[in-house]
Amino acid sequence: MNHFLTLKDITVSIVNEIFSIADTIKENDNLLNRKSVVLFFPNSSIRTRVTFEKGIVALGGQPILFPSDALDKKEAIRDVIGYLNNWADCLIVRHNRLDYIENIAKCSAMPVINAMTSENHPCEVLSDLYAISKIKEEYLSLQYTFVGKCGNIANTWFEASRALGFRFRQCCPQGKIMKYRVLRLCVI
């Protein structure tokens, strides 16, 4: 069982394996048959929530949706996740705090997927890289430029560039640079 929480420690071989699985999923629409996937999403989430729910159903699984604040119980999170370990096959969590999702993963006997935090958004960046890899086979030899201020998407692109070795730049308004040291930066 592997959790998917950040791109910090991902390797090219893991990415290739994930992309290979994504390619074969197109041929196996029952991959999640008889599997239950519990999702915790804030009510304001639309795009990410819909794509996860639609994907689970398309693969034959059953999504069970809760708002993120359902995790804010008086019970210890290890107890809540302990119950879910008995009933679900996977957890997908969108929560502001990455450390909170990491704590959930420590308590979980099933895979936990980070569907977005205020620090990162690994599913979005990995899916972008997958789409680009279908257009450019040598997608890791390209230089990527993120245009915008520091945030979860910029942070995740930087994580991916460090882990996978592609060139990355960020263009942003002065004073809005990401917290990481970027080798090539364009400030406007």
> Within 10 Å of residue 135's Cβ, how many Cβ atoms?
7
In the chain, the amino acid numbered 178 is M
pTM of the predicted model, to two decimals?
Answer: 0.89
* Amino acid 1: pLDDT: 57
Listed residues 85, 116, 147: the one ending a domain: 116
- How far is Cα 89 from Cα 117, in angstroms, rounded to an integer? 22
44-64: pLDDT as tens digits: 889 999 999 999 999 999 999
pLDDT at 185 over 60: no
CA-based R_g, the chain, Å: 17
* Amino acid 179: pLDDT: 52
Please name which of 146, 111, 113, 112 lies closest in space to residue 128, comparing C-alpha atoms: 146
Listed residues 86, 116, 146: the one ending a domain: 116
- Residue 19 inside a domain? The answer is yes
pLDDT at 5 over 90: yes
> Within 10 Å of residue 138's Cβ, how many Cβ atoms?
7
- Confidence at 187, pLDDT banded by 50, 70, 90: very low
What's the rounded mean pLDDT across residues 65-80? 89
What is the tally of structural domains in the chain?
Answer: 2
Please name which of 123, 175, 179 lies closest in space to residue 151, comparing C-alpha atoms: 179
- Residue 129 inside a domain? The answer is no
CATH number for the domain spanning 28: value is: 3.40.50.1370
Q: What range defines the domain where residue 19 resides? A: 12-116
Sign of CA dihedral 98, 104, 105, 106: positive
- How far is Cα 112 from Cα 160, in angstroms, rounded to an integer? 19
